[in-house]
Structures are given as structure tokens and as C-alpha cells.
């Protein structure tokens, strides 16, 4: 079977290595980004440099969008030079951006009104997994549409979950990010208070990880970032988590669901970002509490 032709839009920290993996796997790629640098890099690997979202969407089997957030996706798909100006009926749009579920559905509806197929397929794993092609991909949409694009998704990721209809990929990603933020900030408060009372942070970590308070975040962030006091690569930037939590705050508002702890988490992340920590791993929020309490959790 011939390899699909793909229009790939968005060559940032995630999109660039993903597009590169698709080129290397033999797909015919037309790529577009507002930044000329990564365009050149992809062209050097064999992709065709496009001039606009509309340009790379013309006559391809699949369009992939991997962009920063909701406004960019709206512009790229619905805009005057957007995907829907040229993409042909029967083509598939895979939006891999982390979007608000409401935006995802709005974009999907517009695409389907033009005869396109759609799946929302946000990822996790960060740029390391993007480079290795080992992303986790959470897919919403019809099963047949997913299956027809499985070859592409398996080139990009190691685990593919199909979790429901359109918008459910974004919804599940959002729920996960809610727990990441809330569990993380709970850990920061618990450790700060306990260490202020005299607890040894290593012993506390070893005890809690086998107790009812245990979590993936505890087992991952405590030994890898917080105890060593090292908030650099290849973590997940605080401003990106703040963006994801903000999408969930917005969804709670639209759906009229109270989100007490989530909103609190958003405020603490906002404070941390305002203090200049936005580009560090989100667990850096620990430093704010260490400073306020006059304690050292790191060793």
C-alpha cells in the first residue's frame, strides 16, 4: 500500500520531531510553520516546504495540526488561509494539539461539514517521546477513522488509546492534566508542612510512596526533580501545565461544574509563573513553598 500524503502544520518543540519521524518513515510530507527555521530543517530531510496551512492541505490524504493552543488551531483550520479552504472531502484531519474540548468539537464540526473526517489525538510524553516516536496518544473520534490512520499514529507513538467520540481525546488529556496539577501541588504542600515540622524528605518520600497518598507524580517528580532540586530538561514546563489547567478551568466554566481544587491549583501556578518560573519543570513550584516556609526539601 502506498504511503499516505500528509500536510503537517506546526513544527515546534513537539511538531518538528514528529514530522521528522513521518518523513523518515517514508510518508510524503508537506509542512508549514510561521517560523522559517524548522521549515528549512524539515525540507533538508525531504519534506516539501508549504506556504500556508491551505497550501499544505491541498490534495493530501491526511492533515495533522500540532500547534500551541486553541487560537492557533482555529486560525490554521478555519482561517482565511486555513486547512478547510483546500482540504478535499474524504481527507482526514488529525488535530494533535492539546485543546479545550469545546474548541476541538467546534473545529471538528466545521471540518466534517466540509466532508472531512476528524479525530482529536492529543499526546503525552514530551519532546523526548516525540523524538523517539514513543508518544502516548489519546484518540477521540470514530473507530474506523482511527484505524485508517493507525499507521501514522504508530509511527509517532508507542501507546494509542481510543477513548470515545470526537472531543474525548482532549477531554481525557484534560482530566489527566487536572490530576497532574492537583496531585503535584498537594505533594508540595504536604512535604513543605511536614519538613517544617521536622520530617526528613527522603524518608517521607519512601513512606508515602507505599501508602494511600502515593501517586505517579510522587514517584516521578520527587526523586527526579524535587529531591535533587533540579527543575530543568526534559520536564514539562510550568507554563504548559498552566495552559492545560487553564483549559480545564474554562471547561468547568462552560459546563457549570465547580472545580474548587483545580481553580486553586491554577492560582498557585499563576503565582509561580508570575514569579518567573514558567519555563522550568512545573515541580519548581516547590521552590516557592520552600522559600515561604524557610525549609529545604531538596537535599
CB atoms within 10 A of CB 53: 30
Q: Contact with a copy of itself (CB under 8 A): which of 75, 199, 229, 230? A: 199
Angle between helices 260-272 and 168-196 (to 10 degrees): 70
Which residues inside 49-68 make contact with a copy of itself, applying CB under 8 A?
none
Of 110 and 185, which has the nearer Cβ to a copy of itself? 185
Q: Is 182 in the site for a copy of itself (CB under 8 A)?
A: yes
Of 7 and 125, which has the nearer Cβ to a copy of itself? 125
Of 194 and 227, which has the nearer Cβ to a copy of itself? 194
SS3 108: helix
Of 38 and 169, which has the nearer Cβ to a copy of itself? 169
Task: Extract the runs of DSSP E, i.e. beta strands, from 70-214.
Answer: 92-95, 117-120, 123-124, 135-140, 157-164
- Residue 38 C-beta: closest distance to a copy of itself, Å: 27
SS3 111: helix
* Euclidean distance between CA atoms 41 and 93, whole angstroms: 24
Which residues inside 235-264 make contact with a copy of itself, applying CB under 8 A?
246, 248-249, 251-253, 255-264
- Residue 138 C-beta: closest distance to a copy of itself, Å: 7
SS3 208: helix
Q: Which helix (H) or strand (E) segment is 32 a member of?
A: strand 28-32
Which residues inside 116-155 make contact with a copy of itself, applying CB under 8 A?
124, 136, 138
Catalytic residue among 4, 16, 117, 173: 173
- Residue 4 C-beta: closest distance to a copy of itself, Å: 27
- Residue 66 C-beta: closest distance to a copy of itself, Å: 20
The CA distances from residue 276 to 139, 226, 269, 271, in Å, are 34, 18, 11, 9
Q: Contact with a copy of itself (CB under 8 A): which of 44, 150, 216, 279? A: 216
* Euclidean distance between CA atoms 292 and 76, whole angstroms: 43
* Euclidean distance between CA atoms 196 and 192, whole angstroms: 6
Cell of 134: 514513543
Which residues inside 67-106 make contact with a copy of itself, applying CB under 8 A?
101
- Residue 176 C-beta: closest distance to a copy of itself, Å: 4
> Residue with C-alpha cell 524548522?
38
For a copy of itself, what does the binding mask look like between residues 11 and 50, x meaning CB under 8 A? ----------------------------------------
| Residue 86 C-beta-side C-alpha neighbours within 13 Å | 19
Of 26 and 234, which has the nearer Cβ to a copy of itself? 234
Of 62 and 215, which has the nearer Cβ to a copy of itself? 215
Q: Is 268 in the site for a copy of itself (CB under 8 A)?
A: yes
* Euclidean distance between CA atoms 152 and 270, whole angstroms: 36
* Euclidean distance between CA atoms 132 and 138, whole angstroms: 17
Q: Is 229 in the site for a copy of itself (CB under 8 A)?
A: no
CB atoms within 10 A of CB 296: 11
Q: Contact with a copy of itself (CB under 8 A): which of 19, 97, 289, 297? A: 289
Of 1-9, 22-30, 87-95, 163-171: span binding a copy of itself (CB under 8 A): 163-171
Instruction: Report, as residue numbers or ranges, the catalytic residues.
Output: 173
Amino acid at each position: 500500500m502506498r504511503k499516505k500524503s500528509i500536510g503537517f502544520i506546526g513544527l515546534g518543540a513537539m511538531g518538528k520531531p514528529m514530522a521528522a519521524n513521518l518523513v523518515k518513515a517514508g510518508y510524503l510530507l508537506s509542512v508549514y510553520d510561521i517560523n522559517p527555521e524548522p521549515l528549512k530543517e524539515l525540507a533538508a530531510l525531504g519534506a516539501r516546504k508549504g506556504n500556508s496551512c491551505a497550501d499544505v492541505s491541498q490534495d493530501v490524504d491526511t492533515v495533522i495540526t500540532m500547534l500551541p493552543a486553541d487560537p492557533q488551531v482555529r486560525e490554521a483550520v478555519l482561517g482565511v488561509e486555513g486547512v478547510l479552504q483546500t482540504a478535499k472531502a474524504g481527507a482526514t484531519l488529525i488535530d494533535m494539539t492539546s485543546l479545550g474540548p469545546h474548541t476541538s468539537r467546534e473545529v471538528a464540526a466545521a471540518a466534517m461539514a466540509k466532508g472531512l473526517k476528524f479525530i482529536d489525538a492529543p499526546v503525552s510524553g514530551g519532546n523526548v517521546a516525540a523524538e523517539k516516536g514513543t508518544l502516548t496518544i489519546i484518540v477521540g473520534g470514530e473507530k474506523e477513522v482511527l484505524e485508517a490512520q493507525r499507521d501514522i499514529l504508530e509511527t509517532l507513538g508507542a501507546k494509542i488509546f481510543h477513548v470515545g467520540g470526537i472531543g474525548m481525546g482532549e477531554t481525557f488529556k484534560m482530566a489527566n492534566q487536572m490530576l497532574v496539577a492537583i496531585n503535584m501541588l498537594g505533594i508540595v504542600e504536604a512535604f513543605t508542612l511536614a519538613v517544617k515540622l521536622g520530617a526528613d524528605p527522603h524518608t517521607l518520600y519512601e513512606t508515602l510512596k507505599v501508602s494511600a497518598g502515593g501517586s505517579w507524580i510522587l514517584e516521578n517528580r520527587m526523586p527526579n526533580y524535587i529531591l535533587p532540586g533540579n527543575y530543568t530538561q526534559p520536564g514539562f514546563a510550568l507554563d504548559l501545565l498552566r495552559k492545560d489547567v487553564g483549559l480545564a478551568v474554562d471547561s468547568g466554566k462552560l459546563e457549570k461544574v465547580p472545580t474548587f481544587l483545580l481553580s486553586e491549583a491554577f492560582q498557585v501556578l499563576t503565582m509561580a509563573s508570575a514569579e518567573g518560573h514558567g519555563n522550568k519543570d512545573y515541580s519548581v513550584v516547590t521552590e516557592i513553598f520552600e522559600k515561604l516556609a524557610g525549609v529545604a526539601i531538596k537535599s
